[in-house]
C-alpha cells in the first residue's frame, strides 16, 4: 500500500522536473512519511544522463526540504507545546514521562540544538520530526534555516551522487547506498564527538576564568 502511494506520487510529479523534486522533498521533510531517496537518487541519475542539471536539482531538493521542515517548525511553535504539555500531564505517568523530564529535554535541546538539528537531517524518520521540537522550544528561525539547509544539502548531495555515479546499474546503486550509509553514520559519530569535546573544554575554560 505504501509503495503504491509512493509510485503514484512519483508518477504524478515526475513530469514537473525541478518543481516535482521540490514538491517531493517538501512532502518528505514534513510529517508525511516519504523517503527522500525516491526523489534525489533518480535526480542524480537524470543529471548523469544530461537531462537534468545537477546543481538546480540539488537546489530544488534542498529548498523543498527547508519548506517541509518549516511547516513542522511552525506547527511545533504554535501547537506543539500545548499538545505535549497536555499529553505529559494526562498520560505521562503511564509512560514514565513527567513534566520534569519535559523540562530537562527542553534544556538539553536549547543547549545542543545546533548539532541535534544538523545530525538529525541524516537519520531516517528523525529528520521528519526534528523540526517540531525546534519550533516547540522556539529555536531561532534564522539559525534553524541555516542548519536545515546545511544538513539537508549534504544529505541530498550524497543521494544525488549515488544516482549520478551508479547510472543504470542497480547493483551499484545498492553498493553505493550501503557505503553512503556507513559514511553518514561515521560522520555523525565524529561530528558529535567533536562537538562534545569542544563544548566540554570551552566550559572548562569558562570555569577557569571565573
pLDDT tens for residues 30-49? 877 667 777 788 788 778 87
| Residues 159 and 36: beta-carbon distance below 8 Å | yes
Classify residue 50: in a domain, yes or no: yes
Residue 3 lies in a domain: no
**What pLDDT score was predicted for residue 6?**
47
Structural domain includes residue 4: no
Q: Give the pLDDT mean for 52-78.
A: 91
Q: What is the mean pLDDT of the chain?
A: 73
| Cβ contacts of 105 within 8 Å, gap of 6 or more | 133
Flag whether 21 is in a domain. Answer: yes
Kindly state the average pLDDT of the residues 157-161. Answer: 88
What are 104-152's pLDDT values in tens digits? 666 767 777 777 777 777 777 677 778 888 888 888 899 899 989 999 9
- Give, rounded to a whole angstrom, the gap between the first and last alpha carbons of the chain: 61
C-alpha cell at 34: 516519504
Residue 190 predicted with pLDDT over 80: no
Give residue 164's pLDDT.
Answer: 83
The whole-angstrom separation of Cα 48 and Cα 46 is 5
The answer as to whether 110 is a domain residue is yes
Number of structural domains found in the chain: 1
In a domain, 5, yes or no: no
- Nearest to 165, CA basis, from 49, 45, 43, 55: 45
User: What is the domain extent for residue 112?
Assistant: 13-205
Q: Is the pLDDT assigned to residue 180 strictly greater than 90?
A: no
Residue-wise over 62-75: b if at least 16 C-beta within 10 A, else e? bbbbbbbbbbbbeb
* 2 lies in some domain: no
Q: What is the pTM of this model?
A: 0.68
Across 48-70, average pLDDT: 90
Q: Is residue 1 situated within a structural domain?
A: no
- For residue 54, what pLDDT is reported? 92
4, 40 Cβ separation under 8 angstroms: no
Mean pLDDT of 80-98: 60
Amino acid at each position: 500500500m505504501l509503495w503504491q502511494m509512493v509510485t503514484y506520487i512519483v508518477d504524478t510529479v515526475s513530469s514537473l522536473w525541478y518543481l516535482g523534486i521540490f514538491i517531493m522533498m517538501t512532502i518528505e521533510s514534513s510529517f508525511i512519511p516519504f523517503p527522500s531517496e525516491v526523489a534525489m537518487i533518480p535526480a542524480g541519475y537524470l543529471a548523469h544522463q544530461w537531462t537534468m542539471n545537477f546543481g538546480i536539482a540539488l537546489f530544488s531538493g534542498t529548498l523543498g526540504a527547508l519548506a517541509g521542515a518549516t511547516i513542522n517548525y511552525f506547527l511545533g511553535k504554535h501547537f506543539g507545546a500545548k499538545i505535549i504539555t497536555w499529553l505529559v500531564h494526562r498520560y505521562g505517568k503511564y509512560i514514565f514521562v513527567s513534566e520534569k523530564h519535559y523540562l530537562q529535554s527542553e534544556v538539553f535541546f536549547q543547549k545542543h540544538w545546533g548539532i541535534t538539528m544538523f545530525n538529525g537531517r541524516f537519520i531516517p524518520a528523525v529528520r521528519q520530526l526534528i523540526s517540531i521540537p525546534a519550533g516547540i522550544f522556539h529555536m531561532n528561525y534564522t539559525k534553524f534555516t541555516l542548519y536545515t539547509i546545511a544538513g539537508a544539502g549534504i544529505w541530498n548531495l550524497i543521494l544525488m551522487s549515488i544516482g549520478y555515479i551508479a547510472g543504470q546499474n542497480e547493483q551499484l546503486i545498492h553498493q553505493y547506498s550501503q557505503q553512503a550509509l556507513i559514511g553518514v553514520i561515521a560522520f555523525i559519530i565524529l561530528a558529535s564527538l567533536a562537538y562534545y569535546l569542544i563544548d566540554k573544554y570551552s566550559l572548562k575554560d569558562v570555569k577557569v576564568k571565573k
